[in-house]
Amino acid sequence: MKKMNTPGTLAFVLRWHFAQFAAGLALLALGVYGFANYTPDPPDAPYQSLVGMLGPWPYLIGAAVGAFNAVRAWRKGARLRTGSE
C-alpha cells in the first residue's frame, strides 16, 4: 500500500493561518527595518520626537511580537499537518 503524500507545512500555514503569519512577518520586517534606521534626535534640536523619547524599544518590541506571531502560526500549521490538533 502506497502512503499518501500530504502537502507541506507552508501550504497548511498559508491556507489556515495566513493572516497571523503574514502580519507576524510584516511586523518583524518593519521592526528590524526601523531598528536598523533608528537615529536619536540631535541634542540641540528645538523639539523632541516621540521616537526620540522612547528610543529603539518600540522597534525591538514590535519585531519580537512579529516573530512570536509568525512562529505561532507556523506551529499551528504544523500541528494541523500532522493531525495532532
Helix and strand numbers (H, E) in the chain are: 4, 0
Query: In the chain, what are the domain boundaries?
Result: 9-37+49-82
Mean pLDDT of 51-74: 95
Q: What is the pTM of this model?
A: 0.85
Least confident of 52-56, 62-66, 74-78: 52-56
Nine-digit cell string for 10:
507552508
Q: What is the pLDDT of residues 18-60, one digit of tens each?
A: 999 999 999 999 999 999 999 988 889 898 888 888 999 999 9
Which pLDDT belongs to residue 2? Answer: 66
